[in-house]
Chains A and B, each alone.
Chain A
């Protein structure tokens, strides 16, 4: 328990050690640690930013998807409407066409019938004239009575 010169020597050693630590040990450690802390903080901030950006993007994509779905169903509805319209139109057209064809055919048939009638009528009249000629060969001059005979034929 005797205080002696060791005290002063130790105090000097202590001062030198403090100076050494203040000058050379503490600053590089502090620098490295603070830089790393900053880096970590930045990284965490970037991560949270990225997370929020992801959320926004997810929301946006959902909205876009819904819009697309709506549009698609709209288009499908329109297409269906259009298709039924076309079918209806085609049906109408076919009906009209059919009717037209039918009417044409009827007219043709009428024409044929009339033509046949005319033919028959001419044949009947000539047959009648021939018959009458045969009967009245002598009494009737074909030339003189042809007017009357054709009138007769027209009346048949």
Chain B
């Protein structure tokens, strides 16, 4: 069936079918309803990359010596120091027990997933086709499920730490009494007390609305920023690939353009991983602060 599909795709190789083919997931149904589908490519790529990257770091960390470090240990320590420095500047607490390792995980994992954008789209697709996968997307972070999963996990951690640090009461209090504050109610039989009685419910409503907006916008902006950048990058690679298929001139200019975009994309890949890590740390640090 896969070959049949491929033949169909090859027969009708139009620009839109080319892009559509490259942007479709290897989706497998795991239950009833459209929610119960699994993007096997996304999951497999991200899990393999996660195991590869964190396993590599683990392997080096296990043999870490206090004495003069080897080059690979020095490299891992460089990354470690970079992440630790960022976290130290944002979060003032016991960062080593959770937040800093989480930041390291996010940075390395997202970086590795973003870096899959450097794989030549068509050669990789041909390779996956050859080993029996008709559709296979290489970049897990250009799947909204991945970025949203990470952002949502961070969001849950954010609420968890908020409640852990301030208590459930403190968290609910903050939902209603921050950022605009609340009027003092304890002045009975005075004019100010009367004003407070009127104003306070309004402030509660305003505060709560503001907090809800914040809680909704944080995971959305967190995930969509990364997704948008990686998806756009992938689409541009596909467009360059399209141009390269138009003839000799297109191939030459497509190659030059593809190389330039790849080089520029190194910046985007690293920057987006860094931004995603920084936002994770900022959100978790904000959860620890009380207003």
Which residues of B line the A interface, CB within 8 A? 27, 30-31, 34-39, 42-43, 46-47, 50, 54, 57-58, 61-62, 64-67, 69, 73, 76-77, 80-81, 96-98, 100-102, 104-105, 109, 140, 143-146, 148-150, 152-153
Contact = CB atoms under 8 A, between A and B. Distances in A.
A35 B143 CA distance: 41
Nearest to B102: A18
B101 A13 contact: no
Interface in A80-136: none
Contacts of A27: 96
A7 B145 contact: yes
Contacts of A15: 153
B61 A28 contact: yes
A18 B121 CA distance: 30
A17 interface: yes
Given A3-B148, A32-B64, 7 more contacts: A1-B144, A7-B145, A9-B43, A18-B102, A20-B58, A22-B102, A32-B65
Contacts of A33: 77, 80-81
Contacts of B47: 13
The 10 closest A-B pairs by CB, nearest first: A10-B149, A6-B145, A32-B64, A26-B101, A11-B149, A6-B39, A35-B66, A21-B105, A21-B101, A22-B101
Contact of B35 (A4, A10, A25, A30): A4
Given A4-B36, A10-B42, A32-B66, A25 B148 contact: no
A4 B14 CA distance: 29
B48 to A, nearest CB: 10
Given A11-B153, A28-B62, A17 B54 contact: yes
A71 B37 CA distance: 100
Contact of A36 (B31, B39, B66, B145): B66
Taking residues whose C-beta sits less than 8 angstroms from the other chain, chain A's interface range is: 20 to 34
A69 B146 CA distance: 84
B196 to A, nearest CB: 44
Interface residue SS majority, chain B = helix
A2 to B, nearest CB: 7
A142 B184 CA distance: 176
Nearest to A35: B66
B37 A14 contact: no
Interface of A: 1-11, 13-15, 17-18, 20-22, 24-33, 35-36, 39
B43 A29 contact: no
A17 B42 contact: no
B143 A6 contact: yes
9 contacts: A2-B34, A2-B144, A4-B37, A5-B37, A26-B61, A29-B61, A29-B76, A29-B80, A30-B80
B63 to A, nearest CB: 9
A34 B101 CA distance: 15
A147 B6 CA distance: 188
A17 B77 contact: no
A39 B66 contact: yes
A44 B12 CA distance: 72
A7 B58 contact: no
B36 A5 contact: yes
B168 to A, nearest CB: 23
B54 A20 contact: yes
A4 B38 contact: yes
A42 to B, nearest CB: 12
B138 to A, nearest CB: 15
Contacts of A36: 66-67, 69
A29 B64 contact: yes
B64 A7 contact: no
Contact of A4 (B34, B67, B80, B96): B34
Contacts of B81: 33
A25 B54 contact: yes
Contacts of A14: 105, 109, 149-150, 153
